[in-house]
Chains A and B, each alone.
Chain A
Amino acid sequence: MPEALKAPLTVEFPFTRSLSPVQSAFLTGLRERIVLGVRTVDGRTLVPPVEYDPVTAEEIRDLVEVAPTGTVTTWAWNHAPRRDQPLDTPFAWALVRLDGADTALLHALDAPGPDAVHTGMRVRVRWAEERTGAITDIACFEPYDSSPNETEPADHTGEFENPVTGIVAPARLDYTYSPGRAQTAYINALAEQRNVGERCPSCRKVYVPPRGACPTCGVATSEQVEVGPHGTVTTFCIVNIKAKNLDIEVPYVYAHIALDGAGLALHGRIGGIPYDQVRMGLRVEPVWTRGARYPDHYRPTGEPDADYDTYRELL
């Protein structure tokens, strides 16, 4: 078996999220170096605040201001910070109960080493220099020798000028994509300008490109069958909007093409013919550019159009 193909794959989204009134007040407060909590129905103070009581599910809106100092309730030493974590030097993850709060907030704690951290230690917020209204406006916590401040937290309206109403949360994950046995064989053959599908041992249908299983019969396909190179346009559409990062002039035709011998159609662009002359039944062949691992597009072969009955099952 040839070595499995692999390629880097980055999945990246800038998630834009709107905020509830409580989240907006909390995150705007962080921007202003104020930490807000919310009172539950039974009088506890939750930091970070949520919109609904975790016990009764009632809507809760009574905000209070708690102290930027607090106590570590549990911690874990992270000697090898990962990308996007709050600090790039070794730090402790910590749950911190801020003075005036009844619950703990998760964040990083900057400390010289694990021996300098213990449950019960006193810490304070270290504010980020540039604050935008996000949990990362707290840069981290830092050790701070002080007595717990047990005064009752004061009410707060939660009103600020220019409150933040949303956050943009970028998320990026880096994968190594491997297409598996059947698609590896297909892609390798394609690099040699051959279209090789796989036949279902049960229903005899030839899948191009193959994915390793016949979705109708639920069995593995394995018998390799070379198809094409000529094929028939079974149906098509005219693309009028230019895609981002795609250097193709519009309008152009994107078509379903049933390669000769294939049991289903694949997708491809049609070139070498004005877009308004493409038709169902048009006979086409792949066009390869130098060094490419797959066809750039398909063009007319000049053969007479295929009869509808020859491809009606492949629409």
Chain B
Amino acid sequence: MNREIAVVAFAQTDHRRTSEELSEVEMLMPVLHEVLDRTGLKTADIGFTCSGSSDYLAGRAFSFTLALDGVGAWPPISESHVEMDGAWALYEAWTKLLTGDADTALVYSYGKSSPGPLRDVLTRQLDPYYVAPLWPDSVALAALQAQALIDAGDTDEPALAAVAARSRADATANSRAQLRGSVPAGEYLVRPLRTGDCPPIGDGAAAVILAAGERARELCDRPAWIRGIDHRIEAHSLGVRDLTDSPSTRLAAQKAGAFQRPVDTAELHAPFTSQEVVLRKALKLDDEVRVNPSGGALAANPVMAAGLIRIGEAAARVHRGESDRALAHATSGPCLQQNLVAVLEGDPR
């Protein structure tokens, strides 16, 4: 079945260093209410619900089932969960709508990084035989990639600092962002990456609503039509990959139709400055494209939600008429291991 599917609403929390006064469902629920309110839909009107989160972040077993309390899942709803960024939950919801089984979908994700040692927590996603026993933290792995880029002549430390400065300057217009305005480059965290090259650690949640065909036009003045969406993964062993490139991003973008016509906006999920360099190259983005007007993950990086937020931010710009064709990207795993690309368009004006 060939159906047009659009993002019709987006909501997110303020992203903060800690939300210790709130449980996960208490943090998430206002966002679910806000995104439903934007469309006038109630939980019972939603055909499919899909979420993304990881229990490892806050160290709470089955936290996604507790988070479901915020949805109002009675009478029983059609529901699914991915232990991944919410962008992949959106992908599942998109396929569900494509089948015609549902006309609307609620997608949400959340992450509370504040209770745990995030850099160490993320080592638990690595190869458990050869890599995880060494506990190489997320900043260290990103720094290996940054050095490879510097050695290849693709960037240097001042260029990376410029990515950080531009992102946080743009984030001054984003009241939800955690790190805004002038942020010092700082000391080396793991050289060559300085604190300024790294994302803030914090808590947050996001939600979007998808709708198909005419339903989308009823729910939104200017739906952000998903023209294409695809995700690809690379080998898990870092030493097998060329860390200066992202063939998985390029292939996902090609499959999503990103190269058919230029985009005017790109929301890239690049938690580290050096990763924006890789993504710009893989996606062939030139200076005409507005990259991360929200400030991107360098301004707010709630793990498990930051990728979904890229899609939400890109869609919101289409909704507001600030973009006609936008690319949204989400990543997962170390050094951009797995990548998702979506192309969103508004109806001609």
Residues of A within 8 A of B (CB): 1, 4, 6, 9, 11, 15, 17, 19, 23, 26-27, 46-48, 50, 54, 73-79, 82-86, 93-95, 97, 103-108, 114, 119, 134-136, 167, 169, 171, 173-184, 211-220
The docked-state distance in angstroms from the alpha carbon of A187 to that of B336 is 42
| Contact call B26/A105, Cβ cutoff below 8 A | no
Q: 6 pairs across A/B with beta carbons < 8 Å?
A: A6-B20, A76-B191, A78-B190, A175-B59, A175-B115, A178-B115
Question: Quick check: B237 and A103 within 8 Å, CB to CB?
Answer: yes
Report yes or no: A75 in contact with B134, Cβ–Cβ below 8 A: no
Please measure, in the bound complex, the distance between the C-alpha atom of A119 and the C-alpha atom of B148, giving whole angstroms: 8
- Say whether B124 faces chain A, with CB atoms less than 8 Å apart: yes
Assuming A180-B26, A211-B25, is B73 touching A17 (CB within 8 A)? no
B147 to chain A: which residues have CB within 8 Å? 74-76, 119
Among A54, A180, A217, which residue has the most Cβ atoms of chain B within 10 A?
A180
Do B243 and A218 touch (CB < 8 A)? no
Contacts A15-B128, A93-B190 known; list 15 others, CB within 8 Å. A46-B237, A76-B144, A82-B135, A93-B141, A119-B151, A135-B133, A136-B133, A169-B132, A175-B59, A175-B116, A182-B26, A214-B69, A215-B69, A218-B73, A219-B72
Task: Give me the 6 closest cross-chain CB pairs, A-B, nearest first.
Answer: A218-B72, A180-B23, A104-B239, A76-B143, A77-B191, A175-B59
What's the Cα separation between A127 and B322 when bound, in Å?
59
Interfacial residues of chain B within 128-162, with CB under 8 A of chain A in the complex: 128-137, 140-141, 143-148, 151
Q: Check if B243 sits within 8 Å of A114, measured CB to CB.
A: no
Are A4 and B72 in contact, with the CB atoms below 8 A?
no
Across-interface contacts of A213 in B (CB, < 8 A): 25-26, 29, 69-70
A78 x B237 contact (CB < 8 A):
no
Closest beta carbon of chain A to B17's beta carbon, Å: 13
User: Cα distance A47–B130 when bound, in Å?
Assistant: 10
Distance of B19 from chain A, by nearest CB (Å): 9
Which residues of A lie under 8 Å from residue B193 when comparing CB positions?
76
Contact A54 B74 (CB under 8 A): no
Inter-chain CA distance A212–B115, complex, in Å, is 19
Tell whether A4 pairs with B21 under 8 Å between CB atoms, given A173-B59, A214-B72. yes
Q: Could you tell me if B26 and A220 are in contact, using CB atoms closer than 8 angstroms?
A: yes
Contact call A167/B115, Cβ cutoff below 8 A: no
Closest to B192 in A: A76
Q: Which residues of A contact B121 (CB under 8 A)?
A: 173
Per-residue contact bits, chain B 150-191, to A (CB 8 Å; 1 contact, 0 not): 010000000000000000000000000000000000001011
Q: Is B32 an interface residue (CB 8 A)?
A: yes
Task: Write the residues of chain B forming the contact surface with A, with a CB cutoff of 8 angstroms.
Answer: 20-26, 29, 32-33, 43, 56, 58-60, 66, 68-74, 114-117, 119-121, 124, 128-137, 140-141, 143-148, 151, 188, 190-193, 235, 237-240, 243
Interface of A is mostly: mixed
Which of A27, A54, A107 is B134 in contact with, Cβ under 8 Å? A107
Contacts of B128 in A (CB 8 A): 15, 17, 169
Closest Cβ of chain B: how far from A87's Cβ, in Å? 10
A46 touching B240 by the CB < 8 A rule? yes
Minimum CB–CB distance for A299 against chain B, Å: 31
Contact A97 B68 (CB under 8 A): no
Contact status B124-A54, CB under 8 Å: no
Residues of B within 8 A of A220 (CB): 26, 29
Q: What residues of chain B lie closer than 8 Å to A86, measured between beta carbons?
A: 134
Find the residue from B69, B135, B190, B243 having the highest chain A CB count within 10 A: B69
> What distance in Å separates the Cβ of B339 from its nearest Cβ neighbour in chain A?
17
B44 closest partner in A (C-beta): A218
Distance from B117 Cβ to chain A, minimum over Cβ atoms (Å): 7
Among candidates B20, B120, B140, B190, residue contacting A4 with C-beta atoms closer than 8 Å: B20
CB pair A181 B21 closer than 8 Å: yes
Cβ distance B186 to chain A, nearest Cβ, rounded Å? 13
Q: Is the CB of B120 within 8 A of A173?
A: yes
User: CB-nearest residue of chain B relative to A219?
Assistant: B72
Residues of A near B188 (CB, < 8 A) are 77, 79
Beta-carbon nearest neighbor of A138 in chain B: B134
Q: What separation, in Å, do the CA atoms of A78 and B188 have in the docked complex?
A: 9
CA A167 to CA B133, docked complex, whole Å: 10
Given contacts A169-B128, A218-B70, contact A135 B134 (CB under 8 A): yes
Bound CA span A93–B145, Å: 11
Are A95 and B237 interface neighbours, CB within 8 A?
A: no
Q: Which residue of A lies closest to B75 (CB)?
A: A216
Q: In angstroms, how far is the closest chain A Cβ from the Cβ of B118?
A: 10
Question: Are A76 and B140 neighbours in the complex by a CB distance under 8 Å?
Answer: yes
B59 touches A177 (CB 8 A): yes
Could you say which of B23, B26, B135, B148 contacts A84, with CB atoms under 8 Å apart?
Answer: B135
Complex Cα–Cα for A86 and B134 (A): 6
CB distance from B262 to the nearest CB of A (A): 32
**Residue of A95, A97, A216 touching B144 (CB-CB under 8 A):** A95
Residue of B with least CB distance to A20 = B129
In the bound complex, residues from chain B placing their C-beta under 8 Å from that of A108 are 134
Contact in complex: A54, B235 (CB < 8 Å): yes
Q: Which of A15, A93, A136, A177 contacts B143 (CB 8 A)?
A: A93
Q: Which of A136, A178, A215 contacts B72 (CB 8 A)?
A: A215
- Which residue of the partner chain A has the closest CB to B131? A106
B190/A85 in contact, CB under 8 A: no
Contacting residues, chain B, for A83 (C-beta < 8 A): 120, 135
Given contacts A76-B147, A93-B140, A173-B116, A23 and B72 within 8 Å (CB-CB): no
